[in-house]
Structure formats: C-alpha cells, structure tokens
A and B are shown apart, each in its own frame.
Chain A
Amino acid sequence: MIDITGRVLSVWRRNLDAFLRTYRVNFIPPFVEPVLYLLALGFGLGTYIEAVDGIPYPVFIAPALVSISVMYSAFFECTYSSFVRMYYQKTFDAIIATPVSTDEVIAGEMLWGATRGMIYATLMLPVLMLFGVVSMPSSLLLIPFAFLAGLLFAGIAMCFTAITPSIDALNYPSFLFITPMFLFSGTFFPLDLLPEPIQYFALAALPLTHVVGINRAITLSALSPINLLSLTWIIVATAFFFVLAIRLMKRRLVV
C-alpha cells in the first residue's frame, strides 16, 4: 500500500528551498516566455489571422501559453531534475535513511513539480493581464488549476524517470510525447482543424488537450458543463499516474 504522512512536506520543502536559493534565474522563464510568444505569434503572425472562432488570436493563445508552461515546468522538473537528484546527487538515498519513506520522497517530488507549475502560472498571469488577453477575475482560477494540471504532468514524468535507463533516454518522451503535445493539443490552432481520428486521439491520449480546454474556458470566462468532462479526465489520470509513479519508483529504488 501507499505510505504517505505529513513528512512528505519535508521533501517538498527541500525542493522549494533549493528553488528559492536560485530564484533569480528560475523567475526568468515565466516573465519572458509569454512576452516572446505573444509578440511573435500573437501580435506578429497573428496579424494575418483575423480571429479564431471569433476570438482575437493573442487571446486565443494566451491560455495555451499558461498550459504549456505548466506542462514543461512540471514535466522537466520530475524527469531531468528528479533524475539528477535520484541518480547523480543520491539525494533520495540520503532522505530514505531518515524516517521519511520512499513513497513520501516520490510524492514530495511530484507535489513539488506541481507547485513549480503553479508558481509559473502565477507569475505569468500579471504579464498576460498587461497585454489585456485574459479576463478577470475568472482568470485567477488558472492558479489553482495549474497545480492539478502540474500534478498530472509530474506524475507522467515520474513514471518515465522510474523506468529510464539513463538521463539521455529521457529525451524520448520529451521529443516524442511532450513536443507533439505542445503543437497538437488545441494550443495554436483549434483542435477541429485536424482530421477527426486525430481529434479523438488528442482527446484520449494527449493530456494537454484537456488542460488547454479548461484554461481557455477560464481566461475567456466561459466555463461550461463540457469542461467537467475534461476535469474528470484530468483527475482520474492524475490519480492513476500518481500511484503508478510511486509503484514504479519503489521497484527501482527498493532492492
């Protein structure tokens, strides 16, 4: 069974402390990324695009930028960064020698990945507000939802970390799973431009599709019952990958 107590927070805090120690460099992406994307795609390329489903192009991509940032930060935190802590720094070994359990180490890593996604979403929000591409106050919901979406990507990431033979092999999920998702999840053009089978595939297997759908409803202040389906999909998948990641990691670490 899964063995998690409040000690999971000590693992989470370790990562938060390390993040804050180098906060200057960590705080660059969430400020710079949305500016670059909005200028190049939203207002540059976007001048050729009148509107998407009646929505100005910069407003259309704004929620996708948040979704992508949450995905990247949580996924890379729990793949490359977690792998470095586990394999090169032996940080997991050091923690497991204390009353903290293996389950708590892995859960703490995933909670931290989710938190990092949430921090990035929070920092992006004022930038998007300055550009006037998100409606308030509904867009404040981006923040709590970023934690849930972050936890989903952290869980998926941790499953890959648990089975990867080396740090280089983590490039496979990064390029074959994350990069296609970045492009084909209703991020920069609507999903219904794609052939129908691919649309179904995206809805079934690309988690970012559901995240973008919900975030877009939030920033447009247009939440509808159909978003509940996406929310359910995300909650079920998050729970599944969270448990699976712990199982796989225990198989790797407890010998």
Chain B
Amino acid sequence: MLYSHDSTDRSGGTIIGDVIVARDLEKRFEDLIAVDRIAFQVQEGEIFGFLGPNGAGKTTTMKMIQCISPKTGGTLQVFGMDVDTHQREIKGRLGVVPQETNLDPDFSAYRNLLVYARYFGIPKREAEKRAEELLAFMQLEEKRDVLIDKLSGGMKRRLIIARALINAPELLILDEPTIGLDPQARHLIWEKLRSLQAAGNTLVLTTHYLDEAERLCDRLVIMDHGKILIEGAPADLIREYAGSNVVEVERTEEAISCLAGLEVNYDLAGDMLQVFTDRPNDVARGLLEACRHEAAVTVRPATLEDVFLRMTGRRLRE
C-alpha cells in the first residue's frame, strides 16, 4: 500500500473521527456571499463530494479548507486545528489537486516532484525515493524526464495527483480531478483514488460529473448559492429525492393531459416530461394502454443527475 495511514495518533490512542468540521462557515466578499453559513463534517477515511453549479461556493469552500483563503465567519477545523491559526501545520498534512493545472513548466515531471517536495522540507534522498514511487503509481515512469508542455492533458492531471501525494498527506483535496479527460484517463484516476482511500486516506473532491460523484463518493453535499441543499450517501439521496426510476415521455399536450388523468406528478425537463416514481411500470402502462400513447416512453433508473437538476434547477449558470 502506498502511504497507508492508520487511525492512531502519536500518543498511541485511537482517534477515529472528523477530519474536517465546519460550523456556520461563511465567506463574504465585498458584494457577495460566496459561502453562506454552511455546516458539514468529513469523516476519516471517506470520500466526500461537493457538488453544485458554477458559482455555488464549492471552490471557495475548498480554498478555506486549504488555508489559502481566510474565512469571514464561523468555525473551520481541519485535523482538529483552527485554519486561522495553524496554517502551516494543516497545509503540511494536506495534498491539493487544484482545478487549474499549475505544474511547473520549467521542469521535467520528475523535477516537478522534487521541487515540490522541497516546499514541504522533505529531505532530498527521501524526496527522490518518493518521486520515483509516485511516478510508478500514476503510471508516468516513461515520462520521467519529459517537460510539462510535452505531456497530454491526462498525464498532467496524473502528475498533479502524484505531486499532491509527495508529502504523504492524510487528507487529499481534489478540485475537479478528471476535468477534460478521456474515459480511459478518468477510469485510471478513479481506480487510483479508490486505492488511496483503501490505504486510509480521506478524500474531499468537487466535480461536475455526476456519474463520477455517484461512483466515488461515500457521502456528498449539493450546494447552490453558497448554501448546502442536501447531504447524504448518493444512493440515499437518489431514493429520497428522485425515487427509484424515471419515466420519460415527449412533452405533448396529449401526454400532459394523460398524466394529469392518471394523477401522476411530473416535471418539465426541456422538451421532455419526467415522472419520478417507485412504480415506473404502472406509469408506463398507463401512458401506453390507458391513453394509447404512441410516442416513445422510456423507463430508466434514477441517477444523481436527476437529483442534482431537481435541486438546483435547469437554469444556465455563468
């Protein structure tokens, strides 16, 4: 296992608990409230997701956890320490995968890791050993001496994750870890993130890919306008806010009157009507038989994307 973390503190006692605790957490800029008095807890060893449309406050929350953006209200503790007073201690135990690729273009992949290790004060020998291990872990050995500009998007992303692991962090913060990657690269990164979790790491991530969140996260929150709308395990959220299945039918006057006649609630979704239900076959049969509906009727399992769109609406965000 790579850098496994057990749950014993330095005095030998067992501490299983919350790695991050936020209460009434607030980030206020001059003319807007980016994070509006939110509360959440991230437990040791879990993968915790922040979802939400652009401008929901996810990245701002990440930055406060990383101690690079000071909060303006509430309390925020990471590893039991206050983010205002223990920045260096917290940052030393964190690994950060930022949204923007900020690898150092002046150096090769390997040198990037060594230079980054120096910022943590890791001795040279140890840094060299870890850099080699991490290149192997992220399957980048062949790109060891290649400059950053010559790497593909997926390789850069993998190298950023390798860089975030150079200090053997107990908590990994990933802001859109698979943004813009092809399916192969995404699957590889998911696999690596799961193996990090298996080694005892705690992971906090933001993503716009709902399938990614559904696969990876043990628990997640959906944010919008600086507030947390809902929180829970993906499967529970789907069951609670979308039901087990979705029946979709083209949006026509006929379909609307038919559903009204069947006394079924439906949502308008663009040019479709969606019925969130635990009894999809009854609804589908009603449409097809009772109303002799001729257009296609689709039945599919509900997903986190359905929950997301129901909670945050379909209006486009800038």
* Chain B contact residues, majority secondary structure: loop
| Chain B, range 91-117, C-beta contacts under 8 Å to A | 91-92, 94, 96, 98, 100-107, 111, 115-116
A130 within 8 A of B: no
Encode contact with B along A67-106: 1 for CB under 8 Å, 0 otherwise.
Answer: 0000000000000000000000111011111111100000
Encode contact with B along A6-24: 1 for CB under 8 Å, 0 otherwise.
Answer: 0100110110011001000
B118 within 8 A of A: yes
For the complex of A and B, list the 4 residue pairs with the smallest distance between their C-beta atoms, beginning with the closest. Answer: A90-B102, A98-B119, A18-B106, A97-B96
CB distance from B102 to the nearest CB of A (A): 4
Is B92's CB under 8 angstroms from A90's CB?
Answer: no
Comparing B3-11, B36-44, B63-71, B185-193, the segment that makes contact with chain A is: B63-71
- Complex interface: chain A residues within 8 A of B29 (CB): 255
User: Which of B102, B121, B167 meets A7, CB within 8 Å?
Assistant: B121
- Complex interface: chain A residues within 8 A of B111 (CB): 17
Is B104's CB under 8 angstroms from A89's CB?
Answer: yes
Is B119's CB under 8 angstroms from A7's CB?
Answer: yes
A254 within 8 A of B: yes
| Chain B, range 16-38, C-beta contacts under 8 Å to A | 29
CB distance from B148 to the nearest CB of A (A): 10
- Complex interface: chain A residues within 8 A of B96 (CB): 97
User: Which of A17, A21, A95 meets B119, CB within 8 Å?
Assistant: A95
Given known contacts A10-B118, A93-B68, A98-B91, what 5 new A-B pairs fall within 8 Å (CB)?
A7-B121, A90-B101, A97-B98, A99-B88, A254-B68
A7-B121, A254-B68 known; A94 and B106 CB under 8 Å? Answer: no
User: Which of B69, B89, B101, B120 meets A98, CB within 8 Å?
Assistant: B120
A7 to B116, CA, bound (A): 12
A10-B121, A13-B118, A14-B118 known; A99 and B92 CB under 8 Å? Answer: yes
- Complex interface: chain A residues within 8 A of B167 (CB): 98
For B, the interface residue count at a CB cutoff of 8 angstroms equals 29
Is B100's CB under 8 angstroms from A90's CB?
Answer: yes
Is B68's CB under 8 angstroms from A97's CB?
Answer: yes
A residues contacting B by CB (< 8 A) are 7, 10-11, 13-14, 17-18, 21, 89-91, 93-101, 254-255
B244 within 8 A of A: no
Is B115's CB under 8 angstroms from A14's CB?
Answer: yes
A21-B107, A254-B70 known; A100 and B119 CB under 8 Å? Answer: yes
B87 within 8 A of A: yes
- Complex interface: chain B residues within 8 A of A89 (CB): 102, 104-105
A18 to B106, CA, bound (A): 6
User: Which of A11, A14, A99 meets B91, CB within 8 Å?
Assistant: A99
A17-B115, A21-B107 known; A97 and B91 CB under 8 Å? Answer: yes
Encode contact with A along B108-138: 1 for CB under 8 Å, 0 otherwise.
Answer: 0001000110111100000000000000000
- Complex interface: chain A residues within 8 A of B118 (CB): 10, 13-14
Closest to A11 in B: B119
A21 to B105, CA, bound (A): 12
Is B119's CB under 8 angstroms from A91's CB?
Answer: no
CB distance from A82 to the nearest CB of B (A): 13
Closest to B111 in A: A17
- Complex interface: chain A residues within 8 A of B70 (CB): 254
CB distance from A203 to the nearest CB of B (A): 40
CB distance from B150 to the nearest CB of A (A): 15
Closest to A102 in B: B68
Closest to A5 in B: B88
Is A91's CB under 8 angstroms from B120's CB?
Answer: no
Closest to B112 in A: A94
CB distance from B106 to the nearest CB of A (A): 4
A97 to B97, CA, bound (A): 9
